[in-house]
Each structure stands twice: as structure tokens, then as C-alpha cells.
Amino acid sequence: MEKNPRIDCILDCNADIGEGAIWSSYHEALFWVDIPNGHLCRFDPETNSNKVWEMGKPIGCFALKENDQAIVALSDGFYEFDFQSEKLIFIGDPEMDKPGNRFNDGTTDIKGRFIAGTMPINEYKNTENPQGSLYCLNENRKISTIMSDFFIVNGLTFSPDGTTAYVSDTHKSIQTIWSYDYNIDQAKWSNKRVFFDAHSVSGRPDGGAMDTDSCYWMAGVGGWELIRITPKGQIDLKIKMPIEKPTRIAFGGKNLDTLYVTSIGKNRITQGTQKLQPYAGGLFVLKVPGVQGIALPYFVG
């Protein structure tokens, strides 16, 4: 691409940490979260309206269900949430022994399992001992540990056929995306390898997304950029963003050819840059010709 695509802020909401964006074809809307404020949101692009549900505690990520419900990963575990009754039903907490942690990033695999990872609430408090782990909420609602020793679990997504899994660690000392062979039937991760070392670019790897060409889209938090990476781990495209800290990309719209991007708000950006990014914390939208995303499966449990 010779020039940067047009990028618009469609919701100037100054979210503290906007994250977790997922497009719902059923609702024709974008669901997303503001993590510290415990907000689960639904943005309707037809009306430019944004409905907010209060979780009462930080929400890291979520998975949509087919029956107008969701599984939400809060600071004290997994819950089922009903959008109509607004009731939360506790499922389980795999980190009852780690009150200083919270859930961060998550996605569903091709079978509808919910994969979600954790990190310390204060990400800079412990810089030597990684406390984050990656978990799977299975279709029977049992929680299993996939792997541990992360500082900040991020970048979770799967290849279009579901056989390659991706996960990253955003911490400044790591800044790496890994890929794994993924056994769809057994939900087993194997053959770990470095997919992309983000020390070579300005932004650290935050939320990930996958397009129909099996290219990985990285939100480059801290780097004012989005990056498209080929299946071979090579940079295919960089897009300059009007915000320092983009956090997650979701493909939406009827043809899944619209990119929605969440971001971090004004209280957490580099001091002195406020005038350069007046819409920090907003929700952004853009299109890249010829690029189409894949739909995330619903949680099946």
C-alpha cells in the first residue's frame, strides 16, 4: 500500500484501557471492554450509539454466545453474563491464589472453547517473576491450564483453519509473538516457535487478529501503528495510527472488511503527546482494500 488508509475516530469515549473488541454478526455491532472500569460495551455503527454494562470489577476479555449471552473474564474468574437480565453467574476462578492478577486477552478456538490469559494488575510491579498464565474454559465449563510463565498474555488468535495458535507477551523484556501447532480435537498446543520478534518495530505486541489470507494483525501498543504479518513471520504492511497505544483489532461489518481498533486513554499515554492524539482512548475504524477478516466462533458451553 502506497499511502496510509483513512482512519476515523467513530467513538470519542476516552476509555481508560479499551480492549477486547469482537464483532457480532448477529447484532451487527462491535462488543468491546474498558478493562479497569469494568465496562462491557456494544457499539452500533448504524446509530453511533454505545451501550455500557457495568461488571462491577475489571473485565479483561469475553467470548460471545449464540443466545444473547457472553462469558466474561473478570478479575476474579470466569462468569456467564446475560445481556437482557444483566445477571452474572460465577463459573470458576483458576487464580484464587493470585489476587494481584487479572485476566487480559482472550479468544475462542474453532471448536468454541474460550482461551484467556492473565497478567498482574500492576504490570510493572514484578519485572523478574512472570505471574501470568493461559487457560482454557472448555465446552463442559471446566478450566484447564495451558501454560504459565507469562508477564502479559496477549495477541491470542488462530489461523483460519484453526490448526495454528498464536500468543504473545507484551512485556518490554519479551515483546514476542509465538506460534504453535494446535490439535483441534484435544486442544493441545505443541511445537512452540518464534513467529515475530517485535523488538524490530516501534510498537509492542498487543491484541491480535487474523485475516482470510492467514496474515496476523498486530496492534503495536506504544508504537502508533498496526502491523500485518505474513504466515512466514514477515512484515507485509504497517499502518500509522493517530494514537500512541492501539490495543486490539477486530474485523467487522457485513463483509468483515472493516477494521475496528480500540485504544488506551489520555491518562496512560506518554506525557506531552496529548495534542498529537486528542482522541486517545477512542474507537477507530479503517478499511484496507482487499483485506477481509475471519469471524470468531461463539463459545459453545
Domain span at residue 234 reads: 7-286
Q: Tell me whether residue 66 is in a domain.
A: yes
Q: Tell me whether residue 243 is in a domain.
A: yes
Q: Give Cα separations from 70 to 41, 50, 51, 103, 250 (angstroms).
A: 12, 17, 15, 15, 17
| pTM greater than 0.85 (yes/no) | yes
Q: Quick one: pLDDT at residue 1?
A: 46
**What is the spatial distance between Cα 59 and Cα 51, in angstroms, rounded to a whole number?**
16
Q: For residue 47, count CB atoms less than 10 angstroms from its CB and return exposed for 0-12, middle for 13-18, buried for 19 or more.
A: exposed
Q: Tell me whether residue 275 is in a domain.
A: yes
Q: Tell me whether residue 296 is in a domain.
A: no
Q: Tell me whether residue 108 is in a domain.
A: yes
Rounded to 5°, angle at Cα 32 from 223 and 278: 45
Q: Tell me whether residue 103 is in a domain.
A: yes
Structural domains counted in the chain: 1
In 3-state terms, the chain is what percent helix, strand and coil (to 5)? 5, 50, 45
Query: Could you tell me which residues are beta bridge partners of residue 40?
Result: 33, 53
Q: Tell me whether residue 134 is in a domain.
A: yes
Rounded to 5°, angle at Cα 291 from 287 and 292: 100
The 10s digit of each residue's pLDDT in 51-105 is 999 999 999 999 999 989 999 999 999 999 999 999 999 999 999 999 999 999 9
Q: Tell me whether residue 300 is in a domain.
A: no
The 10s digit of each residue's pLDDT in 21-62 is 999 999 999 999 999 999 999 999 999 999 999 999 999 999
What CATH number corresponds to the domain at position 90? 2.120.10.30
Q: Which residues of the chain have pLDDT under 70?
A: 1-2, 124-127
Residues 6+ away with beta carbon under 8 Å from 205: 154, 155, 168, 169, 170, 175, 176, 177, 196, 198, 218, 219, 220, 221
